[in-house]
Amino acid sequence: LADNAINSLHDEQYDVPFNLQNLNHTNMLFVAGRDTESLNGHWNFAVDLLDTGLRQRWYAMKPSAAEARSEPWDYDPYVGETVAVPSCWQMQKEKWYFFEGSAWYTRAWDYVEKNSNERVFLRIGAAQYDCKVFLNGEFLGNHYGGSTPFFVEFTGKLNSGRNWIMCCVNNTRTLDRVPMRNTDWFNYGGIYRDIEIIRTPFATITDVHVFLKPDNNYNCVHIEIEVDGPNGYLDFEIKELGIKQQVAVVSGKAAADILCQPQLWSPDSPKLYTIDCQYLSDSVQDQVGFRQIEVRGTEIFLNGNNIFLRGISVHEDDIQDGKVVTVEDLKRRFAHAKELNCNFMRFAHYTHHEMATKLADQYGILVWAEIPVYWAIDFENPATYRDAQNQLLEMIKRDRNRASVVIWSVGNENADTDARLKFMSDLCHSAREFDPCRLLSAACLVNHAKNKIEDRLADVLDVIGINEYYGWYEEVFDELIAIGENSNPGKPVVISETGADGFIGKGAPSSGFFSEAYMSEVYREQIEYLERLDYIKGISPWILYEFRVERRQNMFQQGWNRKGLISNDKFTKKDAFSLLGDFYKKLELQQ
Ligand code: GCB
């Protein structure tokens, strides 16, 4: 009876406030240079479409022998099916391919104290979309947002010896979420990035932000460091620049301007420096490049030099593993971008793996990073804003030491309503407050009635992104010419998408829509025309690789968006690849 009473709880009425969003950007820890203990591996696993686990309180089950159980639970978290972590469950078993709902992950972790002065954190690189974390039966918090890292502090809650960690991950698309319900990429689910334990001393460095002061002098490194600990001093060092400085810590914060002459980071010379920070017994270390990006009129300048962004868009979507990426995957991505003669990549439409921006720093690729404020979002809902803003700030805090990241993008193709304007302007203000040395953009709108780039959000941005599909969704190519001529944006425009589907598999058409030949034709026309518009300062065609998506089901698509310049084997190039590569080579030589 008791069990039935629990089962009958309505919808979200559980006896625990699971909707708590307490795992967010305010409790992030600075991780670079720290030792970590990986919890990757096989976790016990069960899909739970009806959220029975929350109602029956599976998380509170004791790992006792089955015959000693006092209640007939419908799941046993301590035995049974397992799944690899990190992974997307869709890629693990065919029966989970379209599963959308909650899934439970459970594993034991044996804790041995290493230091009486230690704190212990669990870090999850990303779980799609929200993740509730439990330790030994206790609910510790909930994280919203499917692609940014979050932390749960275990200090003071651990048993010496065996502990049980449980995560309930839910990938349901809901109306209050970012993204909302309709997207053009696959709705993967699971803990799909690394999960690890981090130990720190009690007094802990929680954030380090190091950047070249954006004042056109190129001779001042500014540092802002946050700690959770007493007032005092910390030591900041960049050995290679001869910098070693004590900085006062007051009320958890330390800041300083340090005069020096760093060699500037750029795609041609992606120079990185090792920075060290020591606070009491805690220390962290990162690799940081120094550069300045700015906009003047319709131009973009990197370190004072005029630059054109020769880009390509990319999703995080692997044929084998979905959103799980490996260093080899990422290196292949960068190798293909370099082969295209790119100096720029758009990481669409959500925050990509942190290794991707680290590699971009090393490879000298400029990055547009974004959050999934995509198509229709409930711009009026404060919960939606909270989710979007938190994803933005988690992304910024994770990656603001990456010189490669030059643009934060706050949205993609959203209708120009008052609510959207307020929502996205507020996001821009937050981003600027957290990071003074990057440009803000979004994929904005064209007014089709006037055939003109016109979007009220443009006033708030530094760079106007435009997705245009003339030759594909908009069949009349000449309209692009009209738009080009009618527009006078007064700011740099980046064509953040353009392209066409080209299917090259069995049964591929030889001409017309979905043929490789037609795709090439679209690229030829786009290249020829866009080059003439002097306010266009970058292009990132859609897209490097074909990617999986539920909504594309015609005979050529079969569950894939076919606009990739390379097919979904990540290897076979379509003809448009070399067209774009040749165009970029020409631009590179002109620059
Ligand atoms: C767009 C979207 C992108 C889609 C693309 C397409 O405008 O921003 O997410 O995948 O078009 O292929 O239709």
Distance between Cα 222 and ligand 1 center (Å)? 38
Distance between Cα 415 and ligand 1 center (Å)? 15
- Measured from the CA of 374, which atom of ligand 1 is nearest? 8
Q: d(Cα 256, Cα 588) in Å, to the nearest integer?
A: 38
**Ligand 1: does its nearest atom lie under 6 Å from the Cβ of 412?**
yes
CB 211 within 8 A of CB 221: yes
**Ligand 1: does its nearest atom lie under 6 Å from the Cβ of 409?**
no
**Ligand 1: does its nearest atom lie under 6 Å from the Cβ of 542?**
yes
DSSP 264: P
Pocket test for ligand 1, best of 496, 561, 562, 565 (most atoms within 8 A of CB): 561
DSSP 93: -
Q: How far apart are the first and last CA of the chain?
A: 76
Residue 343 — φ and ψ, nearest 5°?
Answer: -120, 10
Distance between Cα 184 and ligand 1 center (Å)? 6
Distance between Cα 309 and ligand 1 center (Å)? 20
- Measured from the CA of 348, which atom of ligand 1 is nearest? 9
Strand partners, 461: none
Nearest CA to ligand 1 atom 2: 184
Nearest to 39 by CA among 169, 158, 196: 196
Q: d(Cα 389, Cα 402) in Å, to the nearest integer?
A: 20
Both tokens assigned to 321: 């593993």
Number of helices followed by number of strands (H, E) in the chain: 9, 34
Nearest CA to ligand 1 atom 4: 184
**Ligand 1: does its nearest atom lie under 6 Å from the Cβ of 501?**
no
Distance between Cα 544 and ligand 1 center (Å)? 13
**Ligand 1: does its nearest atom lie under 6 Å from the Cβ of 206?**
no
pLDDT tens, residue order, the chain (591 aa): 455 555 665 666 677 888 888 999 999 999 999 999 999 999 999 999 999 999 888 998 888 766 777 677 788 888 889 999 999 999 999 999 999 999 999 999 999 999 999 999 999 999 999 999 999 999 999 999 999 999 999 999 999 999 999 999 999 999 999 999 999 999 999 999 999 999 999 999 999 999 999 999 999 999 999 999 999 999 999 999 999 999 999 999 999 999 999 999 999 999 999 999 999 999 999 999 999 999 999 999 999 999 999 999 999 999 899 999 999 999 999 999 999 999 999 999 999 999 999 999 999 999 999 999 999 999 999 999 999 999 999 999 999 999 999 999 999 999 999 999 999 999 999 999 999 999 999 999 999 999 999 999 999 999 999 999 999 999 889 999 999 999 999 999 999 999 999 999 999 999 999 999 999 999 999 999 999 999 999 999 999 999 999 999 999 999 999 999 999 999 999 999 999 999 999 999 998
- Measured from the CA of 563, which atom of ligand 1 is nearest? 12
Nearest CA to ligand 1 atom 6: 184
Nearest CA to ligand 1 atom 8: 412
Strand partners, 346: 313, 368
Nearest CA to ligand 1 atom 3: 184
pTM check: above 0.95? yes
Distance between Cα 536 and ligand 1 center (Å)? 20
Instruction: List b or e across 187-206, with b for residues whose CB sees 16 or more CB atoms inside 10 angstroms.
Output: bbbbbbbbbbbbbbbbbbbb
The backbone region for 468, taken as left when phi is positive above 0, alpha when psi lies in -120 to 50, beta otherwise, is beta
Q: What is the pLDDT of residue 591?
A: 83
Q: DSSP string of 78-91?
A: TSS-EEEES--GGG
**Ligand 1: does its nearest atom lie under 6 Å from the Cβ of 313?**
no
Both tokens assigned to 587: 């631009």
Distance between Cα 43 and ligand 1 center (Å)? 35
**Ligand 1: does its nearest atom lie under 6 Å from the Cβ of 413?**
yes
Nearest CA to ligand 1 atom 10: 184
Nearest to 221 by CA among 246, 248, 253, 243: 243
Distance between Cα 563 and ligand 1 center (Å)? 9
- Measured from the CA of 412, which atom of ligand 1 is nearest? 8
Q: What is the pLDDT of residue 5?
A: 58
Both tokens assigned to 499: 């392209």
- Measured from the CA of 467, which atom of ligand 1 is nearest? 7
- Measured from the CA of 499, which atom of ligand 1 is nearest? 12
Nearest to 31 by CA among 239, 269, 285: 285
- Measured from the CA of 549, which atom of ligand 1 is nearest? 10
Both tokens assigned to 294: 């700015």
- Measured from the CA of 443, which atom of ligand 1 is nearest? 8
Instruction: List b or e across 75-105, with b for residues whose CB sees 16 or more CB atoms inside 10 angstroms.
Output: bebbeeeebbbbbbbbbbeeebeebeebbbb
- Measured from the CA of 501, which atom of ligand 1 is nearest? 12
Nearest to 471 by CA among 541, 374, 561: 541
**What interhelical angle do 354-363 and 327-339 show, nearest 10?**
40
Pocket test for ligand 1, best of 347, 473, 497, 565 (most atoms within 8 A of CB): 497
Nearest to 186 by CA among 350, 6, 427, 363: 350
Q: What is the pLDDT of residue 359?
A: 98
Distance between Cα 485 and ligand 1 center (Å)? 24
Distance between Cα 542 and ligand 1 center (Å)? 7
Dihedral over alpha carbons 329, 332, 334, 336 (to 10 degrees): -140
**Ligand 1: does its nearest atom lie under 6 Å from the Cβ of 414?**
no
**Ligand 1: does its nearest atom lie under 6 Å from the Cβ of 184?**
yes
Nearest CA to ligand 1 atom 9: 184
CB 319 within 8 A of CB 310: no
**Ligand 1: does its nearest atom lie under 6 Å from the Cβ of 497?**
yes
Q: Which ipTM score applies to this complex?
A: 0.99
Sheet hosting strand 299-302, strand order edge to edge:
293-296, 299-302, 305-306
**Ligand 1: does its nearest atom lie under 6 Å from the Cβ of 561?**
yes
